[in-house]
Every structure is written in structure tokens, then in C-alpha cells.
Amino acid sequence: MKILVTGGAGFIGSAVIRNIIDNTQDSVVNVDSLTYAGNLESLSLIEGSERYAFEKVDICNRAELDRVFSTHKPDAVMHLAAESHVDRSIDGPAAFVETNIVGTYTLLEATRSYWNTLSQDKKDAFRFHHISTDEVYGDLEGTDDLFTETTSYEPSSPYSASKASSDHLVRAWLRTYGLPTVVTNCSNNYGPFHFPEKLIPLMILNALDGKPLPVYGDGMQIRDWLFVEDHARALYKVVTEGEVGETYNIGGHNEKANIEVVKTICTLLEELVPENPHSKTTAGLPCEDGNINGFESLITYVTDRPGHDVRYAIDASKIERELGWKPEETFESGIRKTVEWYLNNKEWWSRVLDGSYAGERLGVKG
């Protein structure tokens, strides 16, 4: 079948496309406006496939969306395009309202218009898969509580509120118009090709450069970490096998406090790059506080972000029970693969850090 993926040049979207092209016979139409987080270099390994097409289109542009649907005639939509960084949403919420709410509405209407032209068989087989986040649920109070598919929504940030709004729109388009939709809510993703402003790649790259490793508050905020390639497999399961109207929570079964994640990265870097000038091996002189220099000495505690949720944790038993998916990576195996990927792919992240990758968005070679 042919799947239209919005936000396919982003972190999760590019993993979804790589998974589809590498592991199925399906075709993909990548619809992405190439904002700061969109990077076509994340798709360099599959961009030559005859089953892949790219459309530089903003999901808020209805006329262009209509053209894309008419031209490519997809059998399903996987909607990943979103503004997704909490700190950015606090500093500038307007873009999150525009993309995540108005953009989702515009995409739903373009999809519905196209869907209404299909034969009944194709209508029945069609899916609109909306990819969301566990942040819509807010904060967990108890240490044993888990987010389930029926947990009430209590978003804390402009980002999570905008995603909650888009979730409600998708369900309303099923209830009101019969558009066959399915929703997934995932925990924190990590892995290769992650934009360097996010926690894990930021810590890796700052440590390699001897820069401070900023940790919010006491670092005890807990997240359930999901390796992005596991997530991509789950999303394909849902779009091809999920039941219309259902919600599936996708988690990694890996609850870790932020400070534990940062210290794990430091430990791996000590092992993998002992020759780095900031490792214990190379800089093994005592610090003023008596500790040994090394990557952990770069950890710096900073003022917590406003409204910072303390704990997220996903109950992913439904998708395992009904669709047979569970993560293949433990946090230990996934974080090692991630650190090794950044060590082996300096060209990719260097072009992100110096901005040269942005030439794609301007139509020039960077």
C-alpha cells in the first residue's frame, strides 16, 4: 500500500519511513515543510528508492494538501508532523497552536475530502493514524501508577495542551464524519538522528566537547524511554493492524530518572572514548571537591522549567496483547546503540549544529 507520512523528515518520522522502505514492500509519500527539526539527510539511505517520494508541503496549506492527495492517492495517513519541544512551547506557544491544532484540523479536512471520493472498499481499508504523546496525560503522582488508554487528559505545557487538542480533533472526525482514525500515545523516544536540542543527544555532544551537562532541578524527573526504531515498528503495526477508533499506548518499559540517564551516558563515554580530553582516563586529576575529573564532573544542575512534570510511565500491555508488539531494546542496549551512533556519525550532527543542513529548506546545497 501507499502511506502518506507527515513530518517524515523529523526524528520519529524518518525512523518510520526508513522502517517501511527497508522492511516492507509499501510505498511512502513524505510530506514535510522542513522546519528547523526537519532534516532530509536522515533519509539519505532510502531517498533513492522508487517507493519513496518527498513533498515539501506545510500541513496548514489546504490547497497543497489537496494536490498531494490527488497526485499520490494514499491508502493511509500517518500524522507525525508537530512542533514537539516543551521549552520552545513555553517561549513561543503560537507555533504549537498553529501546527499542532490548526495543522491537524487542515490535514483532517483534506483527508476527509479525499476519503469521500474513494470506493467503499477503499474507504473501509483506509486509516488516519494520529501519533501523539504521553504528555497529554499530565503527571503521575504514585510511584506505581501508569498511563493507560483511558487515563484522563491533564496537559501541563503549551506543547502537551496542543497535542491534547489535536487528539480530540482526530476522535471527533471519527465520531462526526466516520473518518477511520486510530490514535497512539508514546513515551519519550531516543535513538539515532535525534535533534541535538533534546536531552540525550545534547548530553552526548556537550560531554564530547567538554561543555556543561545541564540537568533541570534535582534531575529526578522520571520518563519511560522508548528506542525510536522500536516505536517505528509499533506504529507500522498500528496503521496496518490497529482497530478503527482505538487508542494504543506505546512505551519502552524503561523508567529512568533524568540524572540516571545522564550518568549512564557519561559511563558509556568513559568506556567508548577514553582518549577524549574530558574522560577520567585523560583528565584523571582530582577536582577541588575530591572527585575525579571525567564526564560526570560536567553535570550542572539548573533552574527547573516551569510546570515540569515529575513522572511519566506507560502501560503498553494493550498493544502487546492485541497487536503482538513489544520493544526489542532494553534501555541499556538502546542507549549504547545511540551513543555509538553519535560517535560514528559526526558528519550528520555537525551539519545540524553548524546549520549547514538547513540549505535543504532554502532549496540550496548546504
Q: Give 68-94 as a DSSP string.
A: HHHHH--SEEEE------HHHHHH-TH
183 three-class SS: strand
C-alpha cell at 291: 572527585
Instruction: Write the CA distances from 289 to 30, 42, 239, 318, 356, integer angstroms.
Output: 52, 42, 54, 49, 41
State yes or no: is 224 an active-site residue.
no
CB 254 within 8 A of CB 223: no
State yes or no: is 354 an active-site residue.
no
Catalytic residue among 64, 134, 167, 230: 134
Cell numbers 568506556: residue: 271
- CA dist., res. 279 & res. 268, Å (int): 11
Distance of CA 114 to the CA centre of its chain: 27
Q: Give 209-268 as a DSSP string.
A: TT--EEEETTS--EEEEEEHHHHHHHHHHHHHHPPTT-EEEE--S-EEEHHHHHHHHHHH
State yes or no: is 135 an active-site residue.
yes
Catalytic residue among 135, 230, 296, 329: 135
**Antiparallel, parallel or unpaired: β 247-250 and 27-31:** unpaired
Catalytic residue among 52, 105, 114, 159: 159
- Give catalytic residue positions: 134-135, 159
